[in-house]
Amino acid sequence: MIPELGNFLLIFSMINSLLLISIAFIYPPKDKRFFLSASLVTFLAIFLSFIALEISFLTDDFSVLYVATNSNPNLPIYYKFAALWGGHEGSLLLFLLILAGWILVFVFFNEDQKYSSAFMNIVLFALLAFTVFLSNPFERLLPISSISGSDLNPLLQDFAFTIHPPMLYMGYAGLVIPFGIAMNFLLNREKVKQLEPIRSWSVVSWSFLTLGISLGSWWAYYELGWGGWWFWDPVENSALVPWLLCTALIHSSIATNARQIFINWTLALTILSLAGSLLGMFLVRSGIITSVHSFALDPDRGIFLLLICFVIVILGFSLFFLKSHSRGLKTDMGIYSKEFMFFINNAFLVTLSAIVLLGTIYPIIYEIFSGGDQITVGAPYFNMVTVPFALILLFFQAIGPLTKWGGNKIDNLNSIGIIIISSIVLSYLVSYLFFSFSFYEFVGNAIVLMLIQSLGFLAFKSFHSQRKINFSMIAGHLGLAILTFGITISSLNSVEKEFVLQKNESVLVGSSKITLEDTQSVQEDNYYGDRVTFSFQEEDRILKLYPERRFYPASRMETTEAGIYPSVYKDVYISLGQKIGENAWAAKVQIKPLVRFIWLGAIIMFLAGLLVRTKFKFK
Amino acid sequence: MKIYPLLTILLAISLFGLLFFQLFLNSDVQGFNQKSLAPFKSKLLNGDSFTSEELKNDSLSLLNVWATWCVGCRLEHSYLMELEKKGISIIGINYKDDKEKAFKWLDQFGDPYIKNIFDDQGEVGFLLGVSGAPETFLIKNGDSIVMHHVGVLDKEVWKNKFVPLIKK
Amino acid sequence: MKAFLLILLFSQLVYGEDEFMTFSFINDSDEKRFYSLQKEVSCPLCEGSSIAGSNAPIASDIKNKIYTEILLGKSDEEILANLRDIFGEEVTYKPSFENNIFLWLLPLIFFLLIIFAARIFLKKNDKKV
């Protein structure tokens, strides 16, 4: 009964969404009350439908096919709740819920409506239709054969992992809002000021994308067991591309708001970032690219998802090319102007997204054009190719905020000069003192120093001139600087060693000694395995680490749980290999300095983004 | 301004066209690159020695990688027996296995192999590009790999992947 | 010295019951190469994992192979090419330059495009209002 109700509510919300679109275009209402009530009803219907599915999960209703294939009676309550979005159909329902929620929030806070929410509902309606007809989570499993359900992949029974999709969806879904605003502007153009809200909405989406991506990275680090935090996996790249485009969108809209320039860039970027997130969702679900976390899917369903993405792109760009005729205001824009800095920002970020997207798609292109040959494009390519662009971009990020609008000469010339020179010198000194002569480390550190000095300079100036301090921007950029620093140091200074140890044997890694102390058997509800105690002795203290190897009988999966000793300065990371005999193990140790700075920087960026609407003023 | 719309349309069509095309493509129909087989020496289960030279006697040889620890091998075994009845000669590669267990298995379930290479260290497998079991190879003239199937060999796979090559 | 090491190595392979060799190197740079090469090779059996991050038997086999080849003095490129011959192009994460010129040149093309666009941008807006 309840699943049928859930299905009905979904269909109802789909019709309601279509209603909103139709009325908006055929008989536009005078004020926003219609849109508010329609959006509220749509949201409530989807919300109740979501509740219905949750009830099915929490009551172990295995007559629902989706519940049977994604849950198990022995799962703890929290994981049963989260299991709703562990598979394709349910995660779509979660996405729909978040999407409808964002539309409602937008309609509530915004006065200028006309067509914006209608365009957002086009996306919502398309995905609702897709869910109802092709990916319905309420489908029944008849006759009821599977009473025990199946087990979730043990890798997924983890807090960070369950929170990561909702955060990503908050980001992806939020990108319909700039899209809607842009489309409304094209169709119903009055003044450029209409585009002003794009900036705040895209920053909020960006914050959630940042959080979602970094949660995924952190999860992979401690769960997958081998110490990496970014693999340039197709699914990771699918989230990175919209993130990069969204970053470009934020900055482009800042320029548009300030000087009415880059209007076309801003409009185009709203389409591209939404398309990027839809495409990303398609890539993850279509099975077109295999990876650690793709949902296994029918090619047929993949076709329709791709079609939706394609239609949105065509719709968006048709409107864009037909209706956009502005060239914006002409101001003085020399090479030392802030305008030019924003141009660089847009150009580089779009380039980076294109490169990442192409690298991800390339194996498909190669396979088609070579008649079936397979190829893999992975970390070596992406690292080699993106790092130079990223470093140049970060350099401009450091000096950009110090330039002036319409500036023809370098403003703040002295300050910029001091910042650049001092950073180069300091970075060189650091490399010299630590005996590390890596070029990238030198450049990376120099740029981080430039970023920090530049931010300090900005903060100081704002404070001094009693202007409002743009806390969100400074904190956001600071977060990025910390993240960059973490990446630079940990990537270039990590130490690793593989070894085989018997009980009470030791091995030296640098000046630290690792001893295998003991092996114990462990047994829990849904797994059993071994837990090994290692001691890590350095200078003045001894740390203990407890890596494990587990076997989950229900899904017949083996996992390695790494033993991690985390700290701000470095992580010690031990992962087990094969067991040898009764008490000896092959294992690998990694010492990763400042790796936590990566996620620290990301969290700061997330929080900074949420504060976009607050301004601090010093009296 | 006219080139931008054109460019965008071109880009959109090529990107989406590519992805659509890939979806329609049957992933089973994959081209297979011929690889050359490096010569090797090994021992058979019965103790005799074996070299890859012996494969040159036949224009086509079928090599099947199996092991007693491999669940899929149990599944494909009955089909292998069928192939043997049809007169197809299969050379087995007993991969990373225990000799005693292997003999017991062949006694218990039947022996579809004309010869069985004893590859307990996986060295022969490594040369072929084996990553696990079961896997089946079609070797031409003893020196090139013309087909490598990863997974269970059943009627479908035999018909789609191996028969077309044998017919040539 | 090398010959002695090789004999030691092969004797381990033939007489050792376990495939778990302790990877010891003469110098640090070889050891660094060993670990970085591992990250460039994908485990043929596992989806999306490099052999550095996999415990599958085939991953250990490939690790051993890389180890032996480093000791034999082969270069990184030779080792990777050898693995490609055996397991196919898709086993390495870095696509070869010759077969994938477009992929490798594209970033450069983009960079030139940016410079080109920047010039247009600056020229277009050069007039003082």
The DSSP code sequence of A455-519 is HHHHHHHHHHTTPEE-HHHHHHHHHHHHHHHHHHHHHHH-EEEEEEE-TT-EEEETTEEEEEEEE
Higher pLDDT, A139 or A300: A139
Is the model's pLDDT at A371 over the cut of 80? Answer: no
- From A10-14, C56-60, C124-128, the region with the lowest mean pLDDT: C124-128
What domains can be seen in chain B, in order of their start residue? 31-167 (3.40.30.10)
| Residues A176/A107, Cβ–Cβ less than 8 Å | no
Distances (CA, A) of A108 to A44, A102, A310, A473: 15, 10, 29, 26
Q: Are residues C105 and C81 in the same domain?
A: no
Does residue C29 share a domain with residue C45?
Answer: yes
Candidate from B36, B121, B131 with C-beta closest to C44:
B131
Rounded-to-integer distance, Cα B125 and Cα B96, Å: 9
Residue with tokens 């669940």, as numbered in its chain:
B71
Residues of B in contact with A350 (CB under 8 A): none
Task: Supply A122's token pair.
Answer: 């086009």
- Are C116 and C82 in the same domain? no
CA distance A102 to chain C (A): 34
Contacts of C65 in chain B (CB under 8 A): 126
Specify which residues A563 forms β-bridges with.
Answer: A574
C72 and C14 fall within a common domain: yes
CA of B18 vs chain A CAs: smallest distance (Å): 7
Confidence of residue B1 (pLDDT cuts 50, 70, 90): low
Using CA atoms, how far residue A141 sits from A144, A146, A147, A543, in Å, is 6, 9, 11, 51
Give the gap in angstroms from C-alpha A579 to the nearest C-alpha of chain C: 10
Question: Residue C118 and residue A418: Cα distance in Å, rounded?
Answer: 26
| Residue to substitute from B131, B146, B147, interface C, most C β-carbons within 10 A | B131
**Chain B: residue nearest C46 by CA?**
B131
Chain B adjacent subunits, 3+ CB pairs under 8 A: A, C
Q: Alpha-carbon distance A208 to A475, whole Å?
A: 16
3-class DSSP assignment, residue A524: coil
Q: Which residue has the higher pLDDT, A314 or A415?
A: A314
> Does the beta carbon of C46 lie under 8 angstroms from any beta carbon of chain B?
no
pLDDT in tens, A61-91: 888 889 888 887 878 888 889 989 988 899 9
Residue C52's domain is classified under what CATH number? 1.10.8.640
Window from A81-85, A450-454, B25-29, C121-125 with minimum mean pLDDT: B25-29
Q: Flag if B22 and A368 touch (Cβ within 8 Å).
A: yes
* pLDDT tens-place string over residues A166-218: 999 999 999 999 999 999 999 988 788 889 999 999 999 999 999 999 999 99
C85 and B35: CB-CB below 8 Å?
yes
C70 lies in the same domain as C107: no
Residues C89, A496: C-beta atoms closer than 8 Å? no
Chain A nearest CA to C1, separation (Å): 23
For range C42-57, the mean pLDDT: 80
User: C84 is in which domain, residue-wise?
Assistant: 2-94
Q: Evaluate whether ipTM surpasses 0.90.
A: no
Same-domain check for residues C38 and C85: yes
* Residue B139, beta-bridge partner list: B61, B145
Are C65 and C79 members of one domain? yes
Share of chain A above pLDDT 70, in %: 92
User: Does C125 lie in the same domain as C104?
Assistant: yes
Average pLDDT of chain B is: 85
User: Could you tell me which residue, B27 or A316, shows the higher pLDDT?
Assistant: A316
| pLDDT at residue C1, rounded to an integer | 52
Subunit contact A385:C107, Cβ cutoff 8 A = yes
Q: Which of the other chains make 3 or more beta carbon contacts under 8 angstroms with chain A?
A: B, C
Q: Same domain, yes or no, for C56 and C39? A: yes
Minimal Cβ distance to C129: which of A226, A332, A377: A332
DSSP-based three-state secondary structure for C44: coil
| Contact flag B4-A302 (C-beta cutoff 8 Å) | no
Q: Which stretch of A504-518, A549-563, C70-84 has the lowest confidence by average pLDDT?
A: A549-563
The closest CB to that of C57, out of B33, B36, B96, belongs to: B96
Cross-strand partners of B63: B91, B137
What's the structural domain count of chain C? Answer: 2
Q: What are phi and psi for residue A145, nearest 5 degrees?
A: -105, -35
Same structural domain, C90 and C103: no
Q: Which residues of A touch C89 (CB under 8 A)?
A: 373-376
| Interval A312-322 mean pLDDT | 92
Taking contacts as CB-CB distances below 8 angstroms, the residues of chain C near B128 are 86
For C85, the closest chain B residue by CA position comes to B35
Q: Which residues of B touch C61 (CB under 8 A)?
A: 122, 126
Candidates C22, C100, C128; nearest CB to A499: C22
Task: Compute the average pLDDT of residues A294-300.
Answer: 62
Our measurement of the distance from residue A29's CA atom to the centroid of its chain's CA atoms, rounded to an integer in Å, reads 37
Rounded CA separation A619/A468 (Å): 9
The residues in C 59-118 lying below 8 A from B, measured between CB atoms, are 61-62, 65, 85-88
- Chain A residues whose CB is inside 8 A of the C50 CB are 231, 378
Judged by CB atoms closer than 8 Å, whether chains meet at A292 and C23 is answered as: no
Each residue's pLDDT tens digit, A439-484: 899 999 999 999 999 999 988 888 888 777 788 999 999 999 999 9
pLDDT value for A463: 80
| Range from A120-134, A266-280, B71-85 carrying the lowest mean pLDDT | B71-85
B vs C, Cβ pairs < 8 A, gives 32
A577-599 pLDDT, tens per residue?
Answer: 888 887 889 899 999 999 999 99
Query: Which region holds residue A126: left if phi is over 0, alpha if psi is between -120 and 50, else beta?
Result: alpha
- Binary contact (B12, A299; C-beta < 8 A): no
| Domain identity same for C72 and C18 | yes
Tell me if B129 and C56 make a contact (CB, 8 A cut-off).
Answer: no
Nearest CA distance, A299 vs chain B (angstrom): 6
Same domain, C23 and C56: yes
Q: Say yes or no: B32 contacts chain A, CB-CB below 8 A.
A: yes
C98 contacts on A by Cβ (under 8 Å):
none
From CA B131, how far away is CA A320, in angstroms rounded? 51
pLDDT tens digits for A326-354? 665 555 577 888 889 999 999 999 999 99
Q: Which residue is it, tokens 């008989």? A: A27
pLDDT at C17 (0 to 100): 35
Contacts of B28 in chain A (CB under 8 A): none
Would you call A291 and C47 a contact, using CB atoms and an 8 Å cutoff?
yes
